[in-house]
Amino acid sequence: MRTFVRSIVELLLVLATAVFGIAYFGAYNVAADERHWPTTEKFLELVRSRAIGRQPEKLNPPNLNDAQRILKGAGQYASMWRRLPPRCELAGQPVEPRTLSRTATSGPKPQGSQACLCCDQTWLKNDRHASLG
């Protein structure tokens, strides 16, 4: 029994090391114009479908025709997107042009959803991006 438990602990340590290595060395591409690994896609699809299947009975849909709700939502949307795409922690620091270009054209994958591979457009480098590099 001790060898079984030890084997499980060793396996978990190897898996944790592998996951850390993949993250640390950038082996997983998070660009929005690249597909997830097939295993990742299947896992995200499972999580999404189970969440959709279990959550509706808990939800009470809001009145989407309420003028105050629309005004509040528009204000929240505007304040959220006004801060993007520049990152404040990068302001005033030199950014390698290749890194800036890759981030501006690909962006990170949205959490919990697959990247959209239907659009060949890239973001234009605006004045705020130019000031970072």
Residue ranges of the domains in the chain? 1-30, 31-57+64-132
**What residues have CB less than 8 Å from 132, skipping those under 6 apart?**
86, 87, 90, 91, 93, 95, 100
pTM summary value: 0.37
Which residues, other chains included, contact 126 with Cβ-Cβ below 8 Å and sequence gap of 6+? none
**pLDDT confidence of 116, banded at 50, 70, 90?**
very low
Helices then strands, counting H and E runs in the chain, come out as 5, 0
In order of 9, 16, 17, 19, the CA distances from 5 in angstroms are: 6, 16, 18, 21
Q: Which of 37-46, 51-60, 62-71 has the lowest mean pLDDT?
A: 51-60
Q: What is the mean pLDDT of residues 58-63?
A: 72
38/47 Cα distance (integer angstroms)? 14
